[in-house]
Structure 1
């Protein structure tokens, strides 16, 4: 099926996409999100338009979806901090999509709602029949969406409203942070405590379970109601939920019992859905919430900005102070390390073994290698200060400043420290640049992979379309090969039916060639196809016979009513065996392409007919009673069944005559009947031991004439109207 999902690309939608792809459906997405340079995986096409845009009509007409899922309450494209504008946009977008869906006059529309349409003031189990009572603007907007869908459903449209109870799931992106579990995780991360009440009971529904329930609605052939509530049916208190979050968090989190019980949660009854479709809950809040909190705790820095901001001054100052301390740590390390190097340098002066070691130079090199040019400069300044301070033990500061060796040493220190620090910074910059380049190329590779996946999917779809086209070789072979399932005596009957299906015509006839002049009608699919009669002198049909004799397809370009619109002959060892005739083809389809297709179909039918004839020829001696031309009961019964079944399907006409042989020798009667019958007629016995004559392409009127002719020749017979086989 083609399925259109309307909403943003959160974790809930990704689960739905994966589920639909697993079942082989083609998924499309309509979202108001701007293009971000990446594509949703496993999605056939993503449309970035406003839900109120007029081009939504064109999108739906190009997709022709069997199911449209409007995420509604779980669509994060709507920002409810600007309630008035968002509510108007929400209702307008939903109405626009609904009106365009109704214009298609096909498919099912699924609207996703939530428990927020109640905003409960008392804890109770709400059913689908209870009136909504939302107090928040968001809840009211979602409830209005439900009413809009219900009104359109009353007009006879296939619309389903699914109201889900406290949806929760994995927190992977900022779009997934508006659930009750996510809010508790934010509260624990920011405050180190969670406020919850033991008396407030709720029922949580995992996103994966919700996707399964929604999928059942998508594929259901029919449904009894417009509104269903989806719930896990497992009650849990907010206090227990808070403890599960606290256990999952890495930092110590305390749970404080709330004494003020002004707010009570609502629980939804999912009994209606369970009775009609059944439910199976695979995810349980008691175990899943702890895992969700653990993941959130490890990646809290990615989500903390997305959480509710309290705007307190000390929080902003704390963040700024943390940043300043982080930047000051290298300078503090530099100052601390300077002390031991200063002491080592003082001890080395005058030492016989260490006086030639420049500890200040080693100090500067250490920080140049570890931190780079900035800290190398700072450590060099500290080293110069320490050097000058040590020199002033024996000389005045003025003498130190005028000493040439002082400047040489300072230059040596700065040049070496700055050079090493510069090289370190360059190497770090190169690594960072390479890391960014690898990251960029990885994203490019992911994009190429997405494009390739999309291209492969398109290729497979187009390949399947080509194979499944009515005029594709795969489709032709698939349909013609179905003739192999029939008995040898039935093949030609159903060959007409196959030919009609492949050529797209209701009027098809198959004639069997009796001799070089005449052909007899074997099967036909309509009255029009029998218009030439049961027997034709095809050699006198000059326009058609000349073309067929050259083993070409005849096309009635002059629209001569005496001839079929198209015809083709099937040969066996240069002898014409069958003539396929077709009427009821539009003029624009009487082309060389159709002629070639008829040729291919003719060869495929020929293969089935040849196999059937060879089988019959191989059993020729076993089919007749020894020494007579009368068919054995088994062979004759199969033949009668084939003709009667074909007659019931309108593929041929036939009649069955009972021949009275009580006073006459059976062999003599058989010989007399053979002279009176046509080559296409049969004489045989059934299991009751009686003799019958099967008249092919004979209606009731013609059967009476044959009976009268038999009576004149002294053969007693009667038309067998009913026969139990």
Structure 2
């Protein structure tokens, strides 16, 4: 089962989604993420980041044929509804109407609306029953009541099945601190944070607290039931605020309480009767207040610990990043300096035995240049030259004498040469590596970009495939339905064609009329609603304006002016490059009278017409084999197939027919003359054939029994004796 949950990332929505998922249903979520949290759901599902009032929601309904819609998305704060009633209306009324309309349009089997006890207002008739008067005192309560009325009206107008659950005060894991229903969440959060619990009034005000798990279970049960209408969803038990605090004290010893004056407008007592939902749904709440609060508290403790760990790790990571950011620019210089100090100590303390000072300095310059490039190699050269000067001076040399010492200049030159060559070489390599890394990064970005596009295209492809397979007016469904037209008997094609057009166009009335040879008359050959509507069995072309229009243009006729006694749409069917029949639809939903459905009708009738043209061409090709030689009498097997098609059309649509039986002439010559005589008295839609008893039969299409006597009398006047064999209506 495919279930759409609006507001599915919210407190209640996530529990409802989890309940359906555990039952192996496919879960889809629409959420604008204003209050929802994706971390509330960890299982596989499909989500859409949209507001419920967004027109783009229709694309989702088109692509996926939902079985159940659970509408939980709403603005839930009573205080905010006073501050901004327009926003409250957009979310709670406009959004609901959008979901309700789309659910009805796309054949959702069950629509479940989350309403609220706020619809009752200040009502002292406790416990509150569904039949009690609703006088909401807040814009939030008004919007919820209006939502219920919309569901009721949709049920009256369209027979659309919906359930409206009036929640009492819901609590449980994942609840935030918004709204009156969040009092449990507020208390537990304050307890864990060491804050005082704020109680307005004396704490003896009562509420009907219901655990969120019981809410999810009731919604799941309702999706598989036949109930509809308005139901309270509650425990039918009063619980004071002081009792809630007392239970929480048992779980958390140190609890400070602060009493404040009662808030204006607060309801003192509230409890909803759940007798109706218990009787009709066979449901009852499982969690009492003690067990529900214990589970909520345990979850909150774990959640807070996880948040604290996450915050601590994030702080440590951030500090480490800051310290690293400060040290990083000076890291190479510090390492260079440490290495130089070690070398200086070795040189000046005369601890070198294998290498002399020049060798170790040259090696030091090479290492620094190889590791860090030209900057550090030049710095190493400078430090090495300084160390060389200090070493010479420590041996008793004068600084001026060094300016004339060729060995000193050779050593300095060696240091510079090594530093410049190694530094340049390494720097060049480093630059090339950086260029390559930059190219790699660019390619990675391009890869990620193309990967994102690929994923998006795959999702669109999958969605289009879903449309093709599931959407009522998709070409995928057209293709699957039109397979029924894969017949070679025209009468069978007529019967199936009206069914195909009816299913695709969602029209109550579909008819097919065929022209006579000179296109002056049309005869009715198939209709989907024959018994409930009156149809002309034949029409004269010169008396029918829209048929003349259709013959003149050769295209689809659309009754845009809503002319009386005229179908909504009519399309020609061609055979041998000539209009041979007309497909008409009537009693179409007004919302389907559009250019889109006009094009859909054109495609559908072309496919049906193609099937009929193929069947007629086949009949033309084998016509000689269908008749007894030199007669107009169909062979027994051919006549029986046509008769079976007529029987099927009568069973499906109530299309009447009559079979008359006559006597066979003595010779084939007499049979040919006899059949010619019969043909002159019949219409284009009637047939002469051999019955299973080898007698000659006449099949009269679309004729009532009260007209049979008139036909028999006509035959009698021409010397033809016949009797009724089959055709009760």
TM-score w.r.t. length of structure 2: 0.51
Contact 1:68 1:108 in 2 (8 A): yes
Paired position in structure 2 for 1:507: 509
Contact 1:489 1:639 in 2 (8 A): yes
User: Is 1:535 the counterpart of 2:534 in the alignment?
Assistant: no
Paired position in structure 1 for 2:215: 150
User: Is 1:491 the counterpart of 2:493 in the alignment?
Assistant: yes
Does the residue aligned with 1:649 lie in a helix, a strand or coil? helix
Deviations 1:142-192 (A, max 9, x none): xx99536527826965499xxxxxxxxxxxxxxxxxxxxxxxxxxxxxxxx
Contact 2:348 2:391 in 1 (8 A): no
Alignment of 1:224-243 (within 5 A): none
Does the residue aligned with 2:724 lie in a helix, a strand or coil? strand
Alignment of 1:62-211 (within 5 A): 66=66, 104=99, 147=212, 150=215, 153=218, 157-158=222-223
User: Is 1:613 the counterpart of 2:612 in the alignment?
Assistant: no
Paired position in structure 1 for 2:686: 681
Distance 2:445 2:35 in 1: 20
Pick closer, same or farther for the CA change 1:382–1:63 going to 2, 3 Å.
same
Distance 1:678 1:534 in 2: 11
Alignment of 1:643-658 (within 5 A): 643-650=646-653, 652-657=655-660
Distance 1:557 1:100 in 2: 31
Paired position in structure 1 for 2:301: none
User: Which of 690, 698, 709 is the matching residue for 1:693?
Assistant: 698
Deviations 1:260-308 (A, max 9, x none): xxxxxxxxxxxxxxxxxxxxxxxxxxxxxxxxxxxxxxxxxxxxx9698
Distance 1:99 1:597 in 2: 33
Contact 1:636 1:686 in 2 (8 A): yes
Pick closer, same or farther for the CA change 1:435–1:108 going to 2, 3 Å.
farther
Distance 1:584 1:100 in 2: 29
Paired position in structure 2 for 1:404: 403
Worse overlay, 697-706 or 148-157:
148-157
Pick closer, same or farther for the CA change 1:489–1:336 going to 2, 3 Å.
same
Does the residue aligned with 1:498 lie in a helix, a strand or coil? helix
Distance 2:688 2:191 in 1: 82
Contact 1:660 1:716 in 2 (8 A): yes
Identify unmatched segments of 5+ residues in structure 1: 9-15, 48-54, 71-95, 118-134, 161-222, 229-304, 349-353
Contact 2:574 2:613 in 1 (8 A): no
Paired position in structure 1 for 2:456: 454
Distance 1:340 1:225 in 2: 88
Alpha-carbon offset, residue 401 of structure 1: 6.5
Contact 1:374 1:421 in 2 (8 A): no
Distance 1:34 1:334 in 2: 59
Alpha-carbon offset, residue 504 of structure 1: 4.8
Contact 1:7 1:31 in 2 (8 A): yes
Paired position in structure 2 for 1:703: 708
Does the residue aligned with 1:369 lie in a helix, a strand or coil? helix
Deviations 1:526-585 (A, max 9, x none): 349975522222244466436514534445566554554544444444654223344345
Alpha-carbon offset, residue 331 of structure 1: 5.7
Worse overlay, 60-69 or 495-504:
60-69
Paired position in structure 1 for 2:645: 642
Contact 1:529 1:583 in 2 (8 A): no
Paired position in structure 1 for 2:275: none
Paired position in structure 2 for 1:367: 368
Distance 2:598 2:576 in 1: 22
User: Which of 709, 723, 726 is the matching residue for 1:720?
Assistant: 726
Deviations 1:375-434 (A, max 9, x none): 8646854664466445644x36xx347643478679657756775686557865775686
Distance 2:636 2:581 in 1: 28
Deviations 1:413-459 (A, max 9, x none): 77567756865578657756864674466245414431443255336
Distance 1:638 1:653 in 2: 17
Pick closer, same or farther for the CA change 1:46–1:512 going to 2, 3 Å.
closer
Alpha-carbon offset, residue 599 of structure 1: 5.7
Contact 1:630 1:670 in 2 (8 A): no
Distance 2:505 2:631 in 1: 43
Distance 1:629 1:706 in 2: 19
Contact 1:554 1:566 in 2 (8 A): yes
Alpha-carbon offset, residue 680 of structure 1: 2.8
Pick closer, same or farther for the CA change 1:7–1:331 going to 2, 3 Å.
farther
Distance 2:606 2:52 in 1: 48
Distance 1:69 1:340 in 2: 80
Pick closer, same or farther for the CA change 1:329–1:364 going to 2, 3 Å.
closer
TM-score w.r.t. length of structure 1: 0.51
Alpha-carbon offset, residue 691 of structure 1: 5.0
Aligned residues: CA RMSD? 6.8
Pick closer, same or farther for the CA change 1:486–1:374 going to 2, 3 Å.
same
Alpha-carbon offset, residue 664 of structure 1: 9.1
Worse overlay, 483-492 or 375-384:
375-384
Pick closer, same or farther for the CA change 1:377–1:637 going to 2, 3 Å.
same
Does the residue aligned with 2:507 lie in a helix, a strand or coil? coil
Distance 1:69 1:337 in 2: 76
Pick closer, same or farther for the CA change 1:680–1:380 going to 2, 3 Å.
closer
Contact 1:44 1:454 in 2 (8 A): no
User: Which of 633, 638, 645 is the matching residue for 2:636?
Assistant: 633
Distance 2:422 2:552 in 1: 96
Contact 1:505 1:583 in 2 (8 A): yes
Deviations 1:103-138 (A, max 9, x none): 8467799xxx99999xxxxxxxxxxxxxxxxx9979
Paired position in structure 2 for 1:583: 586
Paired position in structure 1 for 2:240: none
Paired position in structure 2 for 1:269: none
Deviations 1:283-342 (A, max 9, x none): xxxxxxxxxxxxxxxxxxxxxx96987x99xxx9xx99xx99x99876665555567778
Contact 1:153 1:159 in 2 (8 A): no
Contact 2:502 2:510 in 1 (8 A): yes
Distance 2:597 2:552 in 1: 19
Worse overlay, 635-644 or 469-478:
469-478
Contact 1:496 1:525 in 2 (8 A): yes
Alpha-carbon offset, residue 645 of structure 1: 0.3
Alpha-carbon offset, residue 718 of structure 1: 3.4
Alpha-carbon offset, residue 510 of structure 1: 1.9
User: Is 1:548 the counterpart of 2:548 in the alignment?
Assistant: no
Alpha-carbon offset, residue 639 of structure 1: 1.2
Distance 2:93 2:665 in 1: 81
Distance 2:692 2:628 in 1: 13
Aligned length: 523
